[in-house]
């Protein structure tokens, strides 16, 4: 999906954005993982991914043709990272029962060759049909697979599948762009009669907070 020059450009820009000398980086996985977020606000190169003509039909197939973007972010898995904790994505992760259709779908755009050694994503095939999500600290499963795929590929999956980044036992950071989308729940007639205030509340006008500022509680 991505050419060598696009991969280099994304990788360089993401590593620049990841620099946070003021300590405000969003770290995870024992401080060896870093999310770089709000990427649609960080250059047209990122905007281009959101409606990539080769990806849109797959998202439409999984989520319906009125699906919406949730986040465009990036996950950097540094050397020394352990296996991450298994999870399902967002709201789906906190629901029990088997969803009758995908509610959310995730796409990882590989900016490195993914391998079992460098933090390639792990998945438990068929786990979108499990009645429960993983326990919070669960980081292994007997049926797990570790993704092996060349850089430039896109890994697309139902967000209810148990997944997590793998351990990085190499000396180079493993980087992926993550375009995460959801099913829309608003009926067209509800959108059509919404007042400006309701449209704002529904999120049509929503603007993310500036980068890496704590969310107001
Ligand atoms: O970076 C990865 O390999 C996994 C990302 C992930 O777990 C997620 O986006 O929910």
Q: What confidence tens digit (pLDDT) does each residue in 183-206 have?
A: 988 888 998 999 999 988 887 776
Q: Which residue, by CA, sits nearest to atom 10 of ligand 1?
A: 89
Q: Is residue 32 part of a domain?
A: yes
The model carries a pTM of 0.89
Which pLDDT value is given to residue 217?
Answer: 41
d(CA 180, CA 186): 18
Q: Is residue 14 part of a domain?
A: yes
Give the pLDDT band of residue 208 (cuts 50, 70, 90): low
94 class by beta-carbon count within 10 Å (0-12 exposed, 13-18 middle, 19+ buried): exposed
The three-class DSSP label of residue 89 is coil
Query: Between vectors from CA 123 to CA 29 and to CA 104, what angle results, nearest 5°?
Result: 90
| CATH number of 12's domain | 2.60.120.620
Any atom of ligand 1 within 6 Å of the Cβ of 176: yes
> Residue 141 is part of which domain span?
4-187
Q: What is the pLDDT of residues 68-120, one digit of tens each?
A: 999 999 999 999 999 999 999 977 777 788 888 999 999 999 999 999 999 99
Tell me the average pLDDT across 30-58: 93
Q: Which residue, by CA, sits nearest to atom 2 of ligand 1?
A: 165
| Count of domains observed in the chain | 1
Q: Is residue 18 part of a domain?
A: yes
For the CA of 75, the nearest atom of ligand 1: 1
Q: Is residue 26 part of a domain?
A: yes
Q: Is residue 127 part of a domain?
A: yes
Q: Is residue 95 part of a domain?
A: yes
For the CA of 77, the nearest atom of ligand 1: 1
Any atom of ligand 1 within 6 Å of the Cβ of 89: yes
Q: What is the pLDDT of the chain when averaged over all its residues?
A: 90
Q: Which residue, by CA, sits nearest to atom 6 of ligand 1?
A: 164
Tell me the average pLDDT across 47-54: 94
Any atom of ligand 1 within 6 Å of the Cβ of 164: yes
Q: Is residue 212 part of a domain?
A: no
Q: Is residue 144 part of a domain?
A: yes
d(CA 135, CA 39): 30
* CA within 13 Å, CB half, 118: 18
Give me the percent of the chain exceeding a pLDDT of 90.
Answer: 73
Q: Which residue did the predictor score with more confidence, 187 or 45?
A: 45
Tell me the average pLDDT across 56-62: 97
Report the residue among 178, 181, 182 best suited for mutation to probe ligand 1: largest number of ligand atoms under 8 A from its CB: 178
Q: Is the dihedral of CA 143, 116, 138, 217 positive or negative?
A: negative
């Amino acid at each position: 999906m991505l050419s060598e020059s696009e991969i280099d450009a994304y990788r360089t820009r993401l590593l620049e954005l990841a620099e946070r000398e003021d300590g405000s980086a969003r770290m995870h996985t024992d401080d060896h993982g870093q999310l770089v977020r709000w990427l649609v606000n960080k250059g047209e190169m990122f905007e281009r991914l959101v409606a990539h003509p080769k990806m849109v039909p797959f998202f439409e197939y999984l989520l319906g043709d009125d699906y919406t973007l949730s986040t465009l972010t990036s996950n950097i898995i540094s050397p020394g990272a352990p296996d991450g904790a298994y999870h399902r994505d967002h709201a789906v992760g906190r629901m029990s029962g088997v969803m009758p259709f995908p509610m959310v779908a995730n796409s990882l755009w590989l900016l490195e060759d993914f391998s079992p050694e460098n933090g390639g994503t792990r998945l438990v095939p068929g786990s979108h049909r499990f009645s429960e999500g993983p326990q919070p600290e669960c980081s292994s499963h007997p049926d797990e697979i570790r993704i092996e795929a060349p850089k430039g590929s896109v890994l697309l999956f139902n967000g209810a599948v148990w997944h997590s980044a793998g351990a990085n036992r190499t000396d180079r950071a493993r980087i992926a762009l993550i375009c995460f989308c959801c099913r829309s729940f608003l009926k067209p007639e509800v959108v059509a009669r919404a007042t400006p205030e309701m449209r704002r509340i529904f999120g049509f006008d929503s603007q993310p907070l500036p980068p890496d500022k704590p969310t107001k509680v």
